[in-house]
Amino acid sequence: MESEGDSNNLSGVQHIILVLSGKGGVGKSTISTEIALALRHAGKKVGILDVDLCGPSIPRMLNVHNMNVHQCDSGWVPVFVDQEKSISLMSIGFLLERPDDAVVWRGPKKNALIKQFISDVAWGELDFLIVDTPPGTSDEHISTVEALRPFRPMGAVLVTTPQAVSIGDVRRELTFCKKLGLPVIGIVENMSGFVCPHCTECTNIFSKGGGEELAKYAGVPFLGCVPLDPSLTQTLELGKDFLQEFPKSSTYTSIVSIAQQILDKASDSSS
């Protein structure tokens, strides 16, 4: 049953998007961060909920890893990334005593914190809430989807890399979404080629097109490819906004195109 706190804290959120993948190391946190920044550049107010409890990397990617969350009458106040308060973030990274502390918890404790994150964070008014998840299809994912179900999530963005192993794992993630009744917004192929920092030519180090083929096979939209770009990696390491720093790059075009398709989908679902 939906609690009063649940209703109050998520009632101002228009669209909820989960970022999923069947395996680790495919760049879910990178895609979550860049989608959030692209939506912010499109004039939207965005929240990011980082439920990757064992690998909370988004606070560093947004250069707020030294910040703390505070309590208010409605629960936790998320950390605001910018002065305009257009991006807010909640992560277990803000709750650890030391940044190098490992989260050595059994499933029930993780699931309880995930439910608390969903019910007890005072998001306020948001156009989008991006939920960055851990890899896999474990009980943590089930807890996240079930806790969000009363608020009718817009759907999931699935992240893969071009290799067959990754695509096979994401195929299982598609089955997970189907079993839980979670709509799939589309598939993103990350690390799709390498952008040379000198000549900007893109070389397919792994392979290319697997994500698009998977989307066709599954009958879901293919949102686009994001290449391995040293400029993107560097801005994430430094906690800078890649889209602001490199607006002429092909990677910028890819990320903005993905965000625009999400905006179009949100507009269609609202009309």
CA 259 to chain centre: 12
Query: CB-side exposure of 254: number of CA atoms within 13 Å?
Result: 23
Instruction: From 155, 127, 168, 115, select the one nearest 20 (Cα to Cα).
Output: 155
Give dist(CA 35, CA 260) in Å, integer: 9
The response to whether 196 counts as a known ligand-binding position is: yes
The response to whether 202 counts as a known ligand-binding position is: no
DSSP secondary structure string for all residues of 172-229: HHHHHHHHHT--EEEEEEEEEEEE-TTT--EE-SS-SSHHHHHHHHHT--EEEEEEE-
18 to each of 90, 177, 183, 193, 201, how far by Cα in Å? 14, 11, 10, 25, 32
Helix axes 164-180, 139-148, angle to 10 degrees: 40
The response to whether 27 counts as a known ligand-binding position is: yes
The response to whether 177 counts as a known ligand-binding position is: no
The response to whether 28 counts as a known ligand-binding position is: yes
Give dist(CA 11, CA 82) in Å, integer: 23
The response to whether 23 counts as a known ligand-binding position is: yes
Amino acid making up residue 11: S
> The tokens of 106 are what?
């059994």
Do the Cβ atoms of 255 and 218 come closer than 8 Å? no
Give dist(CA 148, CA 135) in Å, integer: 18
The backbone torsions φ and ψ at residue 94, rounded to the nearest 5 degrees and listed phi first, read -80, -15
The response to whether 267 counts as a known ligand-binding position is: no
DSSP secondary structure string for all residues of 107-157: HHHHHHHHHHHHHHB---SEEEEEEE--SSSSHHHHHHHHHHGGG---EEE
Q: Which residues are annotated as a binding site for ATP?
A: 22-29
Q: Which residues are annotated as a binding site?
A: 22-29, 196, 199
Q: Which residues are annotated as a binding site for [4Fe-4S] cluster?
A: 196, 199
